[in-house]
A and B are shown apart, each in its own frame.
Chain A
Amino acid sequence: DSGVTQTPKHLITATGQRVTLRCSPRSGDLSVYWYQQSLDQGLQFLIQYYNGEERAKGNILERFSAQQFPDLHSELNLSSLELGDSALYFCASNRGRVNSPLHFGNGTRLTVT
């Protein structure tokens, strides 16, 4: 058990809709990372937060946004969903240094129909 909790585990929704994915980091970790994993593209970095502030941004679409709350949990919001957004979305956490090992949750599988 990594200590990172992601909800929901599965999400099925229609194109054009909006969803929110939630992540609770491991106890003591200040940094949260979001990754997207699809079959043909491996793990793509989306965004990182440290203690409530955005620290680094990857190839995150404008339709996607995230935030980290004072209690350090994080939410990833995906809007105007397209079929191509279907993927596994992983949250990971660590103490804050970017090259410190990441502890991953078990992911949210999003299916857009």
Chain B
Amino acid sequence: TQLLEQSPQFLSIQEGENLTVYCNSSSVFSSLQWYRQEPGEGPVLLVTVVTGGEVKKLKRLTFQFGDARKDSSLHITAAQPGDTGLYLCAGVAVDNTDKLIFGTGTRLQVFP
């Protein structure tokens, strides 16, 4: 059973466009992390959101944790080719506290 579903699975856009990636679950999470993975490398942490309703910004990336702590979103403004990669959300469910579970992933390609 996959606890964290991400959508869309694939996204292919032109440079300069905006996009939003979603991470959804029926479980409540104590916190959610977002990672980006580039080809040939391991995932790298972008941000951690902890409080329901929290919004964090990292340059052109905006992360939001849902009020009920069951979902999160990542919005990228004016995407650039350097944003290309696999975006993964990950979290520890409050009813399954010994495992960090990763989402299904969103593969983003930004064309110049």
Taking beta carbons and an 8 Å cutoff, which residues of A are in contact with B?
2, 4, 33, 35, 42-45, 48, 55-56, 58, 90, 92, 98-99, 101-107
Contacts and interface: CB of A to CB of B under 8 A. Distances in A.
Contacts of A45: 99-102
A104 B102 contact: no
30 contacts: A33-B100, A35-B102, A42-B2, A42-B88, A42-B102, A43-B43, A43-B88, A43-B90, A45-B99, A45-B101, A48-B98, A55-B98, A56-B98, A98-B97, A98-B98, A98-B99, A99-B31, A99-B33, A99-B92, A101-B45, A101-B48, A102-B33, A102-B100, A103-B45, A104-B43, A104-B44, A106-B40, A106-B41, A106-B42, A107-B42
Interface in B50-97: 88, 90-92, 97
B104 A42 contact: yes
A91 B100 CA distance: 13
Chain B CB within 10 Å, residue with most, of A42, A48, A55, A106: A42
A56 B45 CA distance: 21
Given A35-B102, A42-B103, A43-B90, 19 more contacts: A2-B42, A43-B105, A45-B100, A56-B98, A90-B42, A90-B43, A92-B42, A98-B92, A98-B97, A99-B48, A101-B48, A102-B33, A102-B43, A102-B100, A103-B45, A104-B41, A104-B43, A106-B41, A106-B42
A113 to B, nearest CB: 21
Contacts of B90: 43, 102
Nearest to A107: B42
Nearest to B105: A42
